[in-house]
Structures are given as structure tokens and as C-alpha cells.
Amino acid sequence: MFNRENAPRRRTDRVRGAVYAALGPVVRASWAAYKSLGAIGPDSAAGRRFGSFGRGSIVGFPYDTIMNEQSIHIGADTMISGHVVLSAGWGPNHRGLHDRVIVIGDRCLIGRGSCITGHRLVEIGDDVWTGHHVHITDMNHGYEDLSIPISMQNQPEEPVRIGDGSWIGHNAVVLPGVTIGRHVVVGAGAVVTSDLPDFSVAVGSPARVIRRHDPDHGWVKVDPTAGTETTGVAASWGASLER
């Protein structure tokens, strides 16, 4: 039954729906163009400011901070997702900064919202992928001197290296002085404070190896408290990674 009191509301809803239907595609197309135009590629003026920028690579837009690009090197066919920080040195125009401070290899994927901060060297190999909001840094703050704010105390920079083919999970943190080997899985939310060997799976805070690849038995469990293998051989990645 027609309700005279509800008629104005229905007309308003129809008008609003028509406006949304007409403007929605325009807004989405505009947003896509905005991101495309703002992205950094090897042939753009922004890309040419990098130390090197490989063919087929891209830094997504919007990005958060990109500082001292001349000391940042990106390989070929690598994707740096949006809202990422690539920061070399203490501040803009850092005097005496090394030519190669952040080095990212070929075919890498750096997840959305991640932060790579290098003062001495952060070196990421080929085919390394990260989840979102991963933090990788070669420096940290000290706290020992009670008369100085922690923000003003700095520990020595120590190089960070991540080997080819590794995967760094969502929200993981990689701290100074760490070497992560080849084909390593770092679980989501892990905090890596010490070296991880090739062909291993590490989880937790601090990260501990829970699986490793044995040439004779495949993927085997490791007791993270003792550093020794346990019984049970994993037949595949799917079977080896406990959910």
C-alpha cells in the first residue's frame, strides 16, 4: 500500500542510488589513475634518482618515505607495494652515506606498509617476498645511559642480509646484525634477533628454528629449545608447516 509519508524518503534513496551508480566508476577510475601516475618506475624522473632501478620494477603510490634514493638499489621485476618506507641514512642529504645502503634484488615483493631502514647495509637477495608491515633495520637505539633519552642513544649499525628465495611473514621484524639464509620462512609476527640458517622455518619472538631441510629426509622438525631434530619427517611444505 502506498504510504504518502514514506514517498520523499524513497525518492531521496532513488536519487542517491543514481548518483552513486554514476559517480562510483568515475571515483574508482580516478583512484586507479592517481596510483598509476604517482608510481615510480625506472624511466621516471623519480626512478632516475635511485642508485639503480631495474627494468620492470615499480614503487607503488602512495608511498610513505623515500630518503636518499642515490643509496638505494632495486633490481629487475621487483614490486615495492604502497605505503612503504625506504630510508637510507639519518636524514636527507646525509653526508658520507655509502653508495649502497639498501639493496633489493630481482623479482622481489615488499609488502604494503613495510619499512626498510638502512644506515650501513640492508641487502635483500633475489626472489624475496615479504608480507605486509614488515620492518627491517640495521640500527637500533641504546638505553644504558640514564641521563640521555633513549631516542638520542644509538647502537652501532650492523649489516642485515636476507638470502635468495626467502619469505618474511606479515608483521615480522628483522633486527640489526642478522643474516637470514636462503629459502627461509620467517613466520608472521616473528622478531629475528639472530642468524637463521639456509632452508629453515623460524617463528616466535625471538625467532627460533622449528623446521629445517635435511638432504636425506626432507623437512624435519627441530626442537627450538635444544636445537636438535625431533622424530617425524615432513613430506611436503603443506605437511611441514603446522597451522
Domain ranges of the chain: 1-38, 40-206
Query: What is the model's pLDDT at position 233?
Result: 35
Decide: 193 and 206 in contact? Cβ < 8 Å: yes
Mean pLDDT check: name the lowest of 15-19, 85-89, 174-178, 193-197. Answer: 15-19
Mean pLDDT check: name the lowest of 57-61, 78-82, 238-242. Answer: 238-242
Q: What angle do CA 190, 192, 196 make, to 5 degrees?
A: 115
Is 186 a residue whose pLDDT tops 90?
yes
DSSP code of 157? P
Is 20 a residue whose pLDDT tops 90?
no
Residue 144: CB atoms within 10 Å: 8
Q: What is the mean pLDDT of residues 174-183?
A: 98
Return the SS3 of 174: strand
pLDDT tier for residue 239 given thresholds of 50, 70 and 90: very low
40-206 sits in which CATH class?
Answer: mainly beta
Query: What is the model's pLDDT at position 41?
Result: 96
Mean per-residue pLDDT of the chain: 88
Catalytic site residue 119?
Answer: no
Is 242 a residue whose pLDDT tops 60?
no
163-167: list long-range contacts, CB under 8 Å, 24+ apart. 163/125, 163/128, 163/198, 164/105, 164/125, 164/126, 164/127, 164/128, 165/125, 165/126, 165/127, 165/128, 166/125, 166/128, 166/129, 167/128, 167/129, 167/130
pLDDT tier for residue 8 given thresholds of 50, 70 and 90: low
Q: What is the mean pLDDT of residues 224-239?
A: 47
pLDDT tier for residue 241 given thresholds of 50, 70 and 90: very low
Return the SS3 of 44: coil
Is 133 a residue whose pLDDT tops 80?
yes
Give the span between the Cα atoms of 72 and 104, in whole angstroms: 8
Q: Which of 83, 119, 132, 141 is catalytic?
A: 141
Give the span between the Cα atoms of 29 and 25, in whole angstroms: 6
Q: What is the mean pLDDT of residues 156-182?
A: 97
Is 237 a residue whose pLDDT tops 50?
no
Query: What is the model's pLDDT at position 3?
Result: 58
Give the span between the Cα atoms of 10 and 206, in whole angstroms: 59
Q: What angle do CA 120, 168, 152 make, to 5 degrees?
A: 40
Return the SS3 of 109: strand
pTM, to two decimals: 0.83
Alpha carbon distance, N-terminus to C-terminus of the chain: 56
